[in-house]
Amino acid sequence: MIRKLLGATLALGLTTLPALAEYPEKEIQGIIQWGAGGSTDTVMRAVTPHAEKALGGSIVMQNVTGGVGAIALNQVVNGDADGYQILFGAENPLLYKVMGLGDKDYNDFTPINVLARGVPILVARPDAPFNTYPEMIAYINAHPRDVKFGSTGPGGLPSVVTAMINQKTPIDVTFVPYDGDGPALTALQGGAIDVMPAVLGAAIEGIKGGTMKTIALFDVEASEALPEAPTIVSTNPEFGALLPWGPFFGVFVKKGTPDDVVAKLTAAYAEGAKADDFKALMDGRGFKMMNISGAEAQAFLAKWQSTTAWLVQDAGLTKASPADFGIPKP
């Protein structure tokens, strides 16, 4: 009898054990590398609500600025690999090692989704004394260090575009640093700087609104979102060897995050990137949709790092050679 009662009790206990909690069982922190209003912030705040619905969880987004995005990256890489901290980033970390900004990059993460890539554009304040790229170069040559270029620090899009410019048409300008392209473009519109290399998506509204003007689109073909913008190759075909190139926007988790968590996040963001309003936003701002993950995303990141790291190395902007970190030449 005792054995029967014990067996019944054990059986009852086994059937009433709580099921293991499924991810996500609590809020997820979404860490955005850049400040409010910039390209990365805009893209991530647009896609994440759709991903939340697909995931069935809540993602609390926070802007963590500084260190050309390194402070945000280190916050996530130093946390637990459990999927409860997501890094919303741009391209900068792939240059941290060669720029001496840190010893961590996206090789320490698993890509959840590389959502889209942007097209660089060079914009100027509306009353700048030049309207085209050749006119800008002529003015800079005649007025060394008078022209103020906005910058987001070494490793950012402006530094890479500037490396391209210096490789093909060397310039002597004054650089003014800002914490992201959002603040830099605001400064441009206020007249604090003269020129800013930016991503088309962050500048297009200002261009259409007349608060800044296009100098050149850094691509080999015109943009459907801004067809009147002249491409750099239309006046300076020598840039064609470096293009197309562009920044990108990605969602990452720390390497070592459980496979099932990675799979759920990957599926959620893949679904979110398909949302009509998100795609319309990307198209309207000149971003080119990618929506890639897994091996495809890893191959894209490796190629981007190789191409860009060696570009800035050849421009003399690095503190260490890409070869020191096993980054192959393209």
DSSP line for 228-262? TSPBHHHH-GGGGGG-S---EEEEEEETT--HHHH
Per-residue pLDDT, 315: 75
**For residues 238 and 159, which has the higher predicted lDDT (pLDDT)?**
238
CA distance 203 to 155: 20
Q: Is 186 a residue whose pLDDT tops 60? A: yes
Residues 6 or more apart whose Cβ sits within 8 Å of residue 258: 23, 81, 82, 83
Q: Is the dihedral of CA 226, 69, 318, 184 positive or negative?
A: positive
**Mean of pLDDT values over 162-182:** 91
Tell me which residue of 153, 157, 151, 40 sits closest to 89, measured CA to CA. Answer: 40
Helix, strand, or coil (residue 213): strand
Per-residue pLDDT, 139: 98
Per-residue pLDDT, 296: 96
CA distance 7 to 247: 63
Per-residue pLDDT, 283: 87
**For residues 156 and 220, which has the higher predicted lDDT (pLDDT)?**
220
Residue 326 to residues 29, 73, 200, 305, 321: CA-CA distances in angstroms? 32, 21, 32, 11, 9
What digits encode the pLDDT tens for the residues 19-30? 457 999 999 999
**Mean of pLDDT values over 274-284:** 93
Q: Is 1 a residue whose pLDDT tops 80? A: no
Instruction: Tell me the average pLDDT of the chain.
Output: 91
**For residues 130 and 38, which has the higher predicted lDDT (pLDDT)?**
130
What digits encode the pLDDT tens for the residues 8-19? 444 444 444 444
Directed axis angle between helix 157-168 and helix 294-314, to 10°? 50
CA distance 283 to 46: 13
**Mean of pLDDT values over 83-98:** 94
Per-residue pLDDT, 20: 53
Confidence of residue 154 (pLDDT cuts 50, 70, 90): low
Task: Check if the beta carbon of residue 307 is closer than 8 Å to that of residue 245.
Answer: yes
Longest dimension (CA), the chain: 103
What digits encode the pLDDT tens for the residues 38-78? 889 999 999 999 999 999 999 999 999 998 899 999 999 99
Beta-ladder partners of 177: 151
Q: For strand 174-177 and strand 213-217, is the pairing parallel, antiparallel, or unpaired?
A: unpaired
Q: Is 292 a residue whose pLDDT tops 80? A: yes
- Quick one: tokens of 145? 């260090």
- Check for a shared fold between 28-118+247-325 and 120-242: yes
Lowest mean pLDDT among 191-195, 295-299, 311-315: 311-315
What are the structural domain ranges in the chain? Answer: 28-118+247-325, 120-242
Confidence of residue 4 (pLDDT cuts 50, 70, 90): very low
Q: Is 2 a residue whose pLDDT tops 70? A: no
Confidence of residue 247 (pLDDT cuts 50, 70, 90): confident
Q: Is domain 120-242 in CATH 3.40.190.10, yes or no? A: yes
Per-residue pLDDT, 8: 46
Order of strands, edge to edge, in the sheet holding 288-292?
A: 59-63, 28-32, 85-89, 248-254, 109-117, 288-292
Q: Is domain 28-118+247-325 in CATH 3.40.630.30, yes or no? A: no
Task: Check if the beta carbon of residue 200 is closer than 8 Å to that of residue 215.
Answer: no
